[in-house]
Structure 1
């Protein structure tokens, strides 16, 4: 359930919600970090649930010593009211046996909050791509039928590629099975998308094929791709968008090798 920071709960009516799926390379979470940090979004609450591994730590978006010691938890909500933008950041793994329960919680919260649309940032294993998915850009999208009526033409005009359905048995041509939506390494992406279709939610998935490793470049690629649609930041001519890297990224790969061991 959503717990507001202030005594008066915020209104999310007609806001766009951006959230990550905990997936391969944590690309969606890294992309959300860039959005929150760059837009200087403010925390308005958190999601309290037993579906996530508990976590608490210092402020990941600290800008000074004064706010660096603020306590932050596993799933938090940030907003930029003037842009009517809300972001849900998820920082820990979803407990596998409670995946469906967590999806139901998110779907219920989206419906109750009155979001105008929801965008899930995700990723999928590059090495498990189908032959047709090896061609062109590694970026793909999915939209529910409800959002297709509103934004489907816009995404086609942008030249985006929809996530292909693949054969359940690649290489076999005599099967009668229909092509399926397959997102290996995508966590709850597919399940949340299917739930949103059933609930007639306006939801899109924007994902990138990648591998585990240093996924910072993938995060920049994904958030720049999203920006082409949402225009979160103005794109300067012949220049790259300057996203603000949060202070917590200094610890992405640990603190380095201690010189004392040599």
Structure 2
């Protein structure tokens, strides 16, 4: 599944893994762009899987070269930051219809093989699907598997004052017709528009993987503010960027990648009018 672009396979035993879910507003992917660019992370390989659609384009991250050098970006790439013992996956493509389950299965095998201490999924959830208690206040929520709780306990709530995602009686991960095979930890987890997050959470509960899901409620549109919001929460925990460091003027310590200059296309040529 993982293919290294170096001479030898990296050793990530004891490192942390962060990856996005392709979700509403692409918030998780935008947040990953911010992390990878700000930390100047090194591209070390890519994920190749039959479930992932093909993509090849110009360098999306290098703010120095931008569109001039012709460095290639492909669908799902892997980056590392050795000083922080951090691995990040950036996924820019959708899944082939009916193949996501196979990807999740092989992804978990890769996670186990690499020996990551924890896995964090960045995602979003459709704001129009919120229940009453979610309509006001902070739009951020989190989920953790039992294995993750053994590592950190309830520090997310006590230290950071985060809110755990509320469970729903009428919905659960996977929308199965029978709840008998759903673990207590995963029952009632509903993340509409959240991509693979809910099902991966359920499978990590079953397979004893230390996983945290960080999400924000949002709608489609300009989702850069949502990505900045989400990555700030990630930063509270992992301490990736100094809050007072020089970065993008609008994004605090976070640096925008070169590709964001074309996020909404070029400005209209005024001579047209």
Q: Note whether the superposition's TM-score is higher than 0.5.
A: yes
The aligned residue for residue 255 of structure 2 is 244
The aligned residue for residue 211 of structure 1 is 219
Pairs within 5 Å for 1:1-262: 1-65=1-65, 68-157=69-158, 158-168=160-170, 180-236=188-244, 241-259=252-270, 261-262=272-273
Residue 260 of structure 1: how far off its partner (Å) = 5.8
| TM-score (norm: length of structure 2) | 0.88
- What's the CA shift string for 1:103-160, capped at 9, x where partnerless? 1121111111111100000000001001112232100000000001111321012111
Residue 261 of structure 1: how far off its partner (Å) = 4.4
Structure 1: gaps of 5 or more residues? 170-176
Q: Single out whichever of 26-35 and 63-72 deviates more from structure 2.
A: 63-72
The CA distance in 2 between the partners of 1:163 and 1:65, in whole Å, is 40
Q: Single out whichever of 206-215 and 252-261 deviates more from structure 2.
A: 252-261
SS in 2 for 1:96: coil
The CA distance in 2 between the partners of 1:192 and 1:215, in whole Å, is 24
Q: RMSD between aligned alpha carbons?
A: 2.0
| 1:29–1:91 Cα contact (<8 Å) kept | yes
| 1:62–1:68 Cα contact (<8 Å) kept | no
SS in 2 for 1:18: strand
The CA distance in 1 between the partners of 2:264 and 2:116, in whole Å, is 35
| TM-score (norm: length of structure 1) | 0.92
SS in 1 for 2:19: strand
SS in 1 for 2:214: strand
The aligned residue for residue 172 of structure 1 is none
The CA distance in 2 between the partners of 1:51 and 1:152, in whole Å, is 35
Moved over 6 A (4+): none
The aligned residue for residue 175 of structure 2 is none
- What's the CA shift string for 1:228-253, capped at 9, x where partnerless? 1111112239x973211000101111
| 1:143–1:152 Cα contact (<8 Å) kept | no
Counterparts in 2 of 1:62 and 1:68: CA distance versus 1, 3 Å:
farther
The CA distance in 1 between the partners of 2:69 and 2:119, in whole Å, is 30
The CA distance in 2 between the partners of 1:213 and 1:181, in whole Å, is 25
